[in-house]
């Protein structure tokens, strides 16, 4: 269960933005980042050969995002009540997984993602996804079972009440498949297996996660190297932000940190102390 503390000295704009908009589906901003995935793909292959563990780009991006959020605690936050900003004290990631043979979507919340090695992260996600797909994940079965039994006209009301209880009052409804702060610091979903080139996903109002990153397919694209244009495998990260929490400066800093980590993926497998260093952090007036 996540703990929260007051966000220290939020800017005047942050206070105004938090009070101005009522739901996370109003103040949405979008951004995309193209990355040369050559080093990333080579890292995945080396990791598989040396450790016998199959990692995916989703694992690597999630690990990079967890470390970036640890470096930028001011955006690891949520808006409660009528504009109250609070910072999460842990970095928890929510990764969407397919269920019921691809006919449905579910999610696995990985707690303290920044404190886990990339191998441990991948192992925990795999186990959670396997339980969901086999129907043995109690939380998923409870939440979906409840909504399957509801008449359609009660769905919106139940969602609003559930969102109020878990997000505003921080009541733990784990027995109903809805723990406190169920979606954590950020959400990640991959659509690369569907051959999608570019796409952006909406922020679910119930989530209260200020960041959602969507991973399309890695494709060969023209890439400038020096004075030449060469084909390279390119990973395009498509991000959706809640502008009440994340502004342009912070989004830019997050993008630079993600680019640094994903261009040097060995940092993702380093010790927490090494991985948390941020030599490329921009100056305050950037």
**pLDDT 10s digits, 61-89:** 999 999 999 999 999 999 988 888 999 99
Average pLDDT of the chain, as a whole number: 86
Q: Which of 59, 61, 76, 18 is nearest to 211 (CA)?
A: 76
Asked whether residue 25 carries a pLDDT value surpassing 70, the answer given is no
Asked whether residue 272 carries a pLDDT value surpassing 60, the answer given is no
Distance in Å from the first CA to the final CA of the chain: 35
Asked whether residue 189 carries a pLDDT value surpassing 50, the answer given is yes
Q: What is the pLDDT of residue 281?
A: 42
Q: Is residue 223 part of a domain?
A: yes
- Give CA angle at 116 (96, 279), nearest 5°: 100
Distance CA 132, CA 148 (A): 16
Residue 98 pLDDT class (50, 70, 90 cuts): confident
Residue 12 pLDDT class (50, 70, 90 cuts): low
Residue 121 pLDDT class (50, 70, 90 cuts): very high
| Cβ 223 vs Cβ 234: under 8 Å | yes
Asked whether residue 266 carries a pLDDT value surpassing 70, the answer given is yes
List, in sequence order, every beta strand (DSSP E) within the chain: 4-6, 28-36, 77-80, 84-88, 93-99, 104-110, 186-190, 211-215, 219-225, 228-242
Q: Summarize the chain as % helix, strand, coil (round to 5).
A: 45, 25, 35
Query: In 10 A of CB 252, how many CB atoms?
Result: 14
Highest mean pLDDT among 16-20, 153-157, 252-256: 252-256
Q: Is residue 269 part of a domain?
A: yes
- The CA distances from residue 73 to 182, 205, 250, in Å, are 19, 22, 11
**pLDDT 10s digits, 28-62:** 899 999 999 999 999 999 999 999 989 999 999 99
Q: What is the pLDDT of residue 193?
A: 87
Which domain covers residue 8, as residue numbers?
4-134+181-275
Question: How many domains, in total, are found in the chain?
Answer: 1
Asked whether residue 93 carries a pLDDT value surpassing 90, the answer given is yes
Q: Is residue 148 part of a domain?
A: no
CATH number, domain containing residue 235: 3.30.559.10
**pLDDT 10s digits, 193-216:** 889 989 999 898 888 999 999 999
Asked whether residue 176 carries a pLDDT value surpassing 80, the answer given is no
Q: What is the pLDDT of residue 17?
A: 65
Q: Is residue 149 part of a domain?
A: no
| Span of 38-42, 132-136, 190-194 with lowest mean pLDDT | 132-136
Residue 285 pLDDT class (50, 70, 90 cuts): very low
Q: Is residue 174 part of a domain?
A: no
């Amino acid at each position: 269960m996540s703990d929260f503390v007051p966000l220290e000295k939020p800017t005047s704009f942050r206070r105004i933005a938090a009070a101005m908009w009522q739901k996370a589906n109003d103040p949405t901003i979008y951004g995309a980042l193209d990355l040369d995935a050559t080093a990333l793909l080579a890292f995945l292959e080396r990791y598989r050969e040396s450790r016998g563990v199959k990692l995916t780009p989703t694992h690597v991006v999630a690990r990079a995002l967890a470390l970036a959020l640890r470096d930028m605690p001011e955006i690891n936050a949520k808006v409660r009540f009528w504009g109250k900003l609070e910072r999460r004290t842990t970095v928890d990631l929510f990764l969407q997984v397919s269920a019921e043979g691809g006919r449905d979507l579910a999610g696995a919340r990985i707690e303290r993602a920044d404190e886990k090695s990339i191998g441990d992260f991948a192992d925990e996600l795999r186990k959670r996804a396997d339980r969901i797909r086999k129907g043995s994940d109690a939380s998923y079965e409870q939440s979906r079972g409840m909504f399957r039994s509801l008449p359609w006209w009660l769905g919106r009301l139940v969602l609003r009440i559930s969102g109020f209880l878990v997000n505003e009052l921080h009541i733990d409804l784990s027995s109903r498949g809805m723990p406190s702060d169920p979606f954590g610091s950020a959400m990640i979903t991959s659509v690369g297996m569907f051959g999608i080139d570019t796409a952006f996903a909406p922020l679910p109002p119930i989530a209260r996660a200020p960041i959602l990153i969507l991973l399309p397919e890695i494709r060969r694209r023209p890439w400038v190297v020096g004075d030449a244009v060469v084909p390279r495998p390119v990973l395009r990260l498509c991000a959706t932000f809640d502008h009440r929490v994340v502004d342009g400066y912070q989004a830019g800093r997050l993008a630079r940190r993600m680019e640094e980590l994903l261009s040097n993926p060995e940092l993702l497998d380093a010790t927490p102390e090494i991985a948390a260093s941020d030599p490329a952090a921009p100056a305050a007036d950037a």
